[in-house]
A and B are shown apart, each in its own frame.
Chain A
């Protein structure tokens, strides 16, 4: 044993022996390492005190740190630190940071907003976010709409008008497009004549004889198309009736058909079935006036603003 002890002066061991000869070398840790370990212990204890830590009864120990926030009902609440409260606090902060911009939006005219480079940047980012959240599900991400379902907001054709005031009115109050069913009133031949006439208005291949008959029918009191679409077939924005003379189609998928017959057939379908689906919801109660104003400028800037 004393011999072993002498040897151990060259290679130090912890002095314990297991199974007779199994020993453990003692390579000491540097002392700074140990102090670092103590610091981490102290850090952990301070952390327990400040932040939520241990389960306690039915709840947990909340810690000293707390977060005060205003919830969606406008009540001020104070809660011990947690990520939900932190999120609420950050949302409050983000709202507060956006407020000066929205206040500025409220105080400026549409034309002023559109010409101010700083506000333009805000409209492009805030408007895009609002549009993505609220409008994109129907009108698509870029506002290009979907033929047969939702109007394209990037072209220059507007059912109800594309001025700032009209766009705002449309967003705030919503719209409901309607066209009566003609399959019960008119014969299939008459509908075919009308479809050829409508096709001729926008330069699509058509049967000239049928189109001439359709022209008469369009302006007669039998079909009374002119009543809504106007004698010149250019539509009436007051009631949101479509301009039939331009190259833009919403309900009849004319661009989607390859042949002239197919294009006429697409128009025929709309005339015989009518439609009752051009429903734009009301956003007045859901978005604030400033948000709607931002959206108005954004939609106007999508390319179709008048």
Chain B
């Protein structure tokens, strides 16, 4: 009955503000035509509100809805999934706004706005987005409040909803920490759930890694317990590429097992990787990870793989032993694959390789001879190498002489294979930057790298980084140090912007904390935290109990607050009600309509023996309460005392 009232323009105003605040951050993700449509619909609603016009016909709204639906279908190709879902919700919210006639419609629009606030987190969960969503929540809550309390001033409405949200925050905190976390997904996610992730791919063609070199996005973070390894040992292993078709490198044959195909030895580095989602299975461990890593598998080419592609921020606790010897007894098939080359390509390089091989006694000598030769060729390391033709290695080595790590690795492996030595390309990340604020090692997409592995009898697979020959600084100090002045660099990697880098370090340390404790809070974190608080082996029963206890405590605190603001205690009123109560015990309570003087008279007839004090008290009260002068505290105290001392028997 109540909800059919037409909302006031103030109530509409709140909802419009809430809708605009909710939709604005979505503008980054939504298609342009949809943003224009939503903005237009909101503007029409605002104009109608301004001119006190009526909402448009239902049929028109239905037609716009159908058109928007068709548009979404064309834009995304389907209706299911987060992108079309968010787009449809945005259109729905705007149309609901336009057609709203009753308070009930406004409530429905508020629910849509809440869904859209959740939808923001599909794309982005930074503190900034959280703050925007919180502002949206404040406005939607104010909309609900204005529907109930239209008479209050807008500032008071805003304040009340802020109080409500402030009171909701402790509940949020308790639930966030203690609500049993379920590791999603609950069912198969739509195909677009993980779109838009950057990272290495499992093939390497010219330009694929230098493209990543321009991206400042964080690939993963590593927190070492103890000293991190020196920069020259920070090789994070990704895809290992053994098949070459003259243009692209692809992964070769590899086994997959629950245990590593090597025995670790030497010094260990213990660290925790926090991987940004990249939608691929590799875990990018330092060479060579130890056994018994939960939910991980070991590839024959020494990659560490997750059971599922890494689709959300993932933490892995790792130990790596860089000094481990690997592949002494390598499979003949793998070695054959590591020697294979496509025929009729790069004749000049082949000739060079054969020339070096002829001068060498064994593969180790071929290796050092090739490196020696490459060093003498004065190759240049650059982010923007010239394009290469069919004989890519020849052109790089003898004509352009400019290349990125992928050219160096590719050319080196080609030479080794041409000379008959098994070799392969390894991609991954190299280096990383220590954030001085929290000490974590940050590895970015721009640290993506390609190097080589050569198999030597008796020594197994040996890592060789041909890039180091021309640009040793790349390995020691990272990309920016190795590049020439004319290379375009990500802004924050440029030298001379120390203050900017410092600010970024702080910001990234903060967002790392945010990532670890807010975004990455999952069942493991929950267990760790509870154990840290001294609850051993927390299970769901323990969680439920803690949750119950905390929620009850909070509720009791709120109730205490509700009771705290009782009537302001007026001593005169208190004394007078004490008097009435006292006489009520003797069967002579005051009637509600009875004034003090009449009451006094009546009491005098009921208790003739105490007539005098009774009349004195009632007259005294009347004088203090209704007299011309305000009651002075002393007389009030005297009256209260005579009431206390009054004896009726």
* Chains A and B come from one and the same complex: no
Task: Give chain B's interface residues, CB within 8 Å of chain A.
Answer: none
